Amino acid sequence: MSLLNAIDIKVVRDLIRTRGQITAIVLVIACGVGVYTGMNSTMRSLESARASYYAEHRFGHVFVSLKRAPESVGRRLASVSGIQTVQTRVVANGTLDVPGLLEAASGLLVSLPDHGRPLVNDLRLRTGRLPRAGAWEEAVASEAFMATHGFSLGQHLRTVIDGTRVDLKIVGTALSPEFTYAAAPGQLFPDDRRFGVFWLGRKALASALDMDGAFNSASFRIGRDAHVDDVIARVDSVLARYGGLGAIARKDQHSAFLLENELRQLQGFAFLIPALFLGVAAFLLNMVLGRLVAGQRGDIAALKAFGYRDSEVGLHYAKLMGVIVGLGWVLGLVLGVWMGAETTQLYGSYYRFPDLVYHLGLRAPAEAAVITAVAAGVGAWSAVRRTVALPPAEAMRPAAPPVYKPSAVQRTGLARLLPTWAHIVFRELERRPLRSVLSVAGVAMATALTIVMAFTADSVRYMLNVQFGLGQREDAQLHLAEPRSTGVLAELEKLPGVLHAEPFRSVPVELVHGRRSENVTISGVPADAHLVGLIDEGLRDVPVAEEGLVLSRKLAEILGVRPGDQLWVKVLEGRRHETEVPVTRVIESFVGTPAYMRLEALCRLLNEPSTLNGARLLVDEARLTELHRAVKQTPGVNAFTSRDTVLRTVSEMLDDNLGAMVGVSMTLALVMAFGVLYNTARITLADRARELATLRVLGFRRSEVAAILVGELALVVVVAIPLGLLAGYGLAAALVRSPGFDTDQFRLPLVVASATYATAVLAVLSAGIVSGWSACRRLDSFNIIEVLKTRD
Amino acid sequence: MNAPQDTVYRLEAITKTYIMGDVEVHALRSLDFDLKRGELLVLLGPSGSGKSTLLNILGGLDTPSTGRMFYENQDLSAPDRGRLTEFRRSHVGFVFQFYNLIPSLTALENVKLVTDIAANAMDPAAALELVGLSDRMDHFPAQMSGGEQQRVAIARAIAKQPAVLLCDEPTGALDVSTGQVVLEALLEVNRTLGTATVIITHNAAIGAVANRVVRIADGRIARVEENARPLLPSEVAW
pLDDT (tens digit per residue) in A139-159: 999 999 999 999 999 999 998
Point out the residue among A404, A420, A697 whose CB comes nearest to the CB of B94. A697
Does residue A458 have a pLDDT over 80? yes
By CA distance, what is A693's nearest residue in B?
Answer: B100
* Highest mean pLDDT: which range of A53-62, A288-297, A315-324, B170-179: A53-62
CB–CB of A791 and B105 under 8 A? no
Q: Is A568 helix (H, G, I), strand (E, B) or coil?
A: strand
Q: Residues, chain A, total?
A: 792
CA distance A692 to chain B (A): 9
* pLDDT tens per residue, range B200-229: 998 889 999 999 999 999 999 999 999 989
A664, A595: one domain: no
The answer to whether residue A350 sits within a structural domain is: no
Position A161 scores a pLDDT of 83
- Within-domain flag for A491: no
Is pLDDT above 90 for A659? no
Give the tens place of pLDDT for each residue, A697-713.
888 888 888 888 888 88
Q: Which residues of A touch B104 (CB under 8 A)?
A: 402, 404, 423-424, 427-428, 431
Strands A578-587 vs A549-552: parallel, antiparallel or unpaired? parallel
Q: Of the residues A257, A284, A301, which one is the last residue of a structural domain?
A: A257
Those residues of chain B whose CB sits closer than 8 Å to some CB in chain A are 56, 59, 61-62, 81-82, 85-90, 92, 94, 96, 98, 100-105, 109, 112-114, 116-118, 140-142, 156, 160
Among A724, A726, A746, A750, residue whose Cα is nearest residue A736: A750
Most confident of A197-201, A208-212, A463-467: A197-201
Residues of B in contact with A792 (CB under 8 A): 98
Q: Which of A69-73, A83-87, A741-745 has the lowest mean pLDDT?
A: A741-745
Q: Is residue B1 part of a domain?
A: no
Percent of chain A whose predicted confidence (pLDDT) is above 90: 44
In this structure, the answer to whether residues A466 and A600 fall within a common structural domain is no
Domain containing residue A759: 421-473+643-792
Report the gap between the CA of B35 and the closest CA in chain A (Å): 21
Number of structural domains in chain A: 3
- CB neighbours of A773 closer than 8 A, spacing ≥ 6? none
The partner residue sitting opposite B100, judged by closest CB among A421, A428, A694, is A694
Q: Return the pLDDT at A222.
A: 96
Cβ neighbours of B175 (radius 10 Å):
10
A585 and A702 inside one domain: no
Is the pLDDT at A169 greater than 90, yes or no? yes
CA distance A681 to chain B (A): 18
* Residue B125 main-chain phi, psi, to 5 deg: -65, -40
The answer, yes or no, to whether residue A374 has pLDDT greater than 50, is yes
Residue B71 domain-assigned (yes or no): yes
Selection from A463-472, A522-531, A706-715 with the highest mean pLDDT: A522-531
Q: How many helices (H) and strands (E) does chain A have?
A: 22, 20
Nearest to B104 among A404, A695, A696 (CB): A404
Would you say residue A548 lies in a domain? yes
Residue A125's alpha-carbon distances to A4, A740, B14, in angstroms, are 61, 32, 93
CATH code, domain with B143:
3.40.50.300
The pLDDT tens digits for A96-143 are 888 888 888 889 999 999 989 999 999 999 999 999 988 889 999 999
CA distances from B107 to A546, A686, A699, A752, A792 (A): 83, 24, 18, 50, 18
Query: Which of B116, B140, B160 is closest, CB to CB, to A404?
Result: B140
User: Does residue A507 fall inside a structural domain?
Assistant: yes
> What pLDDT digit, counting tens, does each position of A46-82 carry?
999 999 999 999 999 999 999 999 999 999 999 999 9
Pair A525, A604 in one domain: yes
Q: Quick check: A788 and B104 CB within 8 A?
A: no
Bridge pairing between strands A105-112 and A138-142 = unpaired
Cβ-defined contact of A699 to B59 (cutoff 8 Å): no
Do residue A152 and residue A229 come from a single domain? yes
Q: Which residue of B has its CA nearest to A704?
A: B117
Classify residue A38 as exposed, middle or buried by CB count within 10 Å of its CB (0-12, 13-18, 19+).
buried
Region for residue A163 given its phi and psi (left: phi exceeds 0; alpha: psi -120 to 50; beta: otherwise)? left
The answer as to whether A779 is a domain residue is yes
Sheet strand arrangement including A248-249: A83-89, A214-222, A62-70, A248-249
Is B113 in contact with A421 (Cβ distance < 8 A)? Answer: yes
* Nearest residue in B to A426, CA atom: B104
Query: Is A129 found in the same domain as A88?
Result: yes
Q: Are A151 and A248 in the same domain?
A: yes
Residue B4 has pLDDT above 60, yes or no: no
Kindly determine whether residue B103 and residue A401, on different chains, have CB atoms separated by under 8 Å.
Answer: yes
Instruction: List Cα–Cα distances, B215 to A285, A522, B96, B225, in angstroms.
Output: 51, 106, 20, 8
A-B CB pairs within 8 A amount to 83
User: What is the domain range of residue B143?
Assistant: 7-235
Q: Do both A438 and A585 map to the same domain? A: no
B2 is a domain residue: no
Give the burial class of B46: count Cβ atoms within 10 A of its Cβ; 0-12 exposed, 13-18 middle, 19 or more buried. Answer: exposed
Residue B84 pLDDT > 80: yes
How far apart (Å, rounded) are the C-alpha atoms in residues A72 and B207? 123
**Domain count within chain B:** 1
**Element housing A128 (H / E):** strand A124-128
- Average model confidence (pLDDT) for chain A? 88
Q: Tell me, yes or no, whether A663 and A723 share the same domain.
A: yes
In a domain, residue B73? The reply is yes
Cβ within 8 Å, pair A403-B112 = no
Contact (CB<8Å) A403/B142 = yes
* Residue A673 belongs to some domain of the structure: yes
List all residues 6 or more positions away from A250 whose beta carbon is below 8 Å from its beta carbon.
A59, A60, A61, A62, A63, A228, A256
A202 and A154 in one domain? yes
> Are both A580 and A686 inside the same structural domain?
no
The answer to whether position A41 is within a domain reads: no
Residues A453 and A503 in one domain: no
